[in-house]
Structure 1
Amino acid sequence: MKINNKTSKTLRYILGVLFAFAALNAFGGGYYGLAGAEGVPLEWLEGSPFDSYLIPSLFLLIVMGGSFLTASVANFANWKRARLISMLTALLAFTWIAVQVSIIGYISWMQPATVIFGVIVLAIAWFTSDM
């Protein structure tokens, strides 16, 4: 389905806002983990390769937060590959959650919310055009 440039621009701005929100969430979560993750039991990491939240928090802060921020900027600035960056970032979010759930199980409403976020982003990005 072909859409006009005005609609594509609106969709890119929606993606920019969604990714900016996700970046803030990832930066906040990563910082919280690095600050000690008060109230988050270390038992959740039993059976995982981690004995603290340091590595997962760094990954969340740097890789996930950085990817979300890059995708947000790409959409707001109308980068030529914003659509591709959006789709790859959504796939990264799916991978992050899949690995997280496989290691610690379902523990938060944020896990399915992230999957829903990824589906919405992929659907919107599908209808935007690389200009």
Structure 2
Amino acid sequence: MRNKRNGFYNWIGSLLVFIGIGAVAAGIGLVSEPNGSAIGMSVKLLEDSPFQSFWFPGIILFLINGLGSFFGAFLSFKRHELSGIVTIVLGIAMIIWISAQVYWMGLISWMQPVYLIFGIIEIIFGWAVRKEK
């Protein structure tokens, strides 16, 4: 079973690096231009949300989905015992993030369902790593 678990660690780490790169870039874009223009969005998308600008969502995106994913990837590549639980938590955070986006802004991009699926995959792979312990 060790080889199977190592495969999960590698998949988790790679997925989290991919998510982290996009989230850090988008988070920086939203914080630096809170009107959303840096990443091709408009504050009009926030009309039905509790936010007046993308600044706070950008901070959350940067910290949780960005830096959090890099931290999770680090743990995964190191085969750390907390890797599974951190990956599950990040998957739940991704699902909440995407669900909130769709609730407040609507389905505006093909990336939303893709990242929702990534969140589900994170939970499944994190669970698989935890289960093997």
Note whether the superposition's TM-score is higher than 0.5. Answer: yes
Identity of aligned residues (%): 25
Superposed CA RMSD in Å reads 1.4
**Distance across 2 between alignment mates of 1:18 and 1:64:** 12
Q: Which residue of 2 aligns with 1:21?
A: 18
SS at structure 2 position matched to 1:106: coil
Residue 76 of structure 2 aligns with an amino acid whose one-letter code is N
**Residue aligning to 1:109:** 110
5+ residue gaps, structure 2? none
Paired amino acid for 2:123:
L
> Which amino acid counterpart does residue 92 of structure 2 have in structure 1?
L
2 CA distance for matches of 1:106 and 1:70?
Answer: 29
Partner of 1:30: 27
Q: Does the aligned pair in 1 maintain the 2:86–2:126 contact within 8 Å?
A: no
Q: 1:10 aligns with which of 7, 10, 27?
A: 7
Q: 2: distance between equivalents of 1:52 and 1:119?
A: 28
**Regions of 4+ moved over 6 Å:** none
Q: Residue type of the partner of 2:78?
A: A
Identify the structure with the greater helix proportion. 2
Task: Give the whole-Å Cα distance in 1 for the aligned partners of 2:63 and 2:122.
Answer: 20
Q: Which moved more, 1:32-41 or 1:18-27?
A: 32-41
For 2:62 and 2:24, locate their aligned partners in 1 and report how far apart those are by CA, in whole Å: 5
Within 5 A, what are the aligned runs for 1:36-115?
A: 36=33, 37-38=36-37, 39-115=40-116
Deviation at 1:72, TM superposition (A): 0.6
1:83 partner amino acid: G
Which structure ranks higher in relative contact order (CA pairs < 8 Å, sequence separation ≥ 6)? 1
TM-score under structure 1 length normalisation? 0.90
The number of aligned residues is 128
TM-score by length of 2: 0.88
C-alpha separation in 1, matches of 2:124 and 2:87: 10
Counterpart CA distance in 1 for 2:87 and 2:31 is 27
Contact 2:88 2:126 in 1 (8 A): yes
Task: Report the Cα distance in structure 2 between the residues aligned to 1:127 and 1:97, rounded to whole angstroms.
Answer: 23
Code of the aligned partner of 1:69: F
